[in-house]
C-alpha cells in the first residue's frame, strides 16, 4: 500500500501501516509552519506477543534538512501487542516546507527476550495544493 502519504512494511511478523495528512487548521504558511498528522497501525502477525520499546524517526523536509527523533515508546506508552492484535495511535509532525517525508523503526522485544527493529517504510508529508 505504499503511495503518497501512505506506507506499509512487515518485519518479523509485525506489520506497520501509516497514513498521513496535512492539518491546514494547525498550520501557518506565512511563517513556514506546516503541520501534519500521521496515523499508525501496528499489527502483530507473529505467533508470540511483542512489546514496543523505542522509536526512531528520520524526518526530512523539502530542502533536504534531516531531523532524527529517538525515544522510549510511542505517545507515552510501551504497548504489548498480542498475536493477531493491533495497536493504533496518531501523532504530529511540523515541517518548515510544504512537503517532506518520514521513515524509521520501532525497537521491539518478544516475550522470549529476542529484540528486533520493525521497519516503518517511508511516507510523504505534503500540502495537497503543493503536489497537484
For the 6-131 domain, the top CATH level (class) is mainly beta
Is 47:66 a contact under the CB 8 Å cutoff?
no
What are the beta bridge partners of residue 27?
none
How is the chain split into domains, by residue range?
A: 6-131
The model's pLDDT over 30-48, given as tens digits with 9 standing for 90+, comes to 999 999 999 999 999 999 9
Provide the whole-model pTM. 0.92
Q: Report which of residues 104 and 2 the model is more confident about.
A: 104
Could you tell me the strand order of the sheet in which 34-44 lies?
Answer: 6-11, 14-22, 34-44, 86-95
The model's pLDDT over 68-91, given as tens digits with 9 standing for 90+, comes to 999 999 999 999 999 999 999 999
Amino acid at each position: 500500500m505504499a503511495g503518497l502519504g501512505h506506507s506499509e512494511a512487515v518485519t518479523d511478523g509485525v506489520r506497520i501501516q501509516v497514513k498521513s495528512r496535512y492539518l491546514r487548521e494547525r498550520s501557518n504558511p506565512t511563517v513556514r509552519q506546516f503541520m501534519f498528522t500521521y496515523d499508525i497501525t501496528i499489527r502483530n502477525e507473529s505467533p508470540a506477543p511483542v512489546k514496543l520499546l523505542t522509536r526512531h524517526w528520520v524526518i526530512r523536509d523539502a530542502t533536504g534538512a534531516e531531523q532524527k527523533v529517538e525515544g522510549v515508546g510511542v505517545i507515552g506508552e510501551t504497548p504489548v501487542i498480542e498475536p493477531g492484535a493491533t495497536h493504533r495511535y496518531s501523532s504530529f509532525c511540523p515541517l518548515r516546507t510544504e512537503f517532506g517525508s518520514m521513515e524509521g523503526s520501532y525497537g521491539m522485544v518478544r516475550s522470549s527476550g529476542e529484540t528486533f527493529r520493525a521497519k516503518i517504510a517511508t511516507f510523504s508529508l505534503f500540502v495537497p495544493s503543493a503536489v497537484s
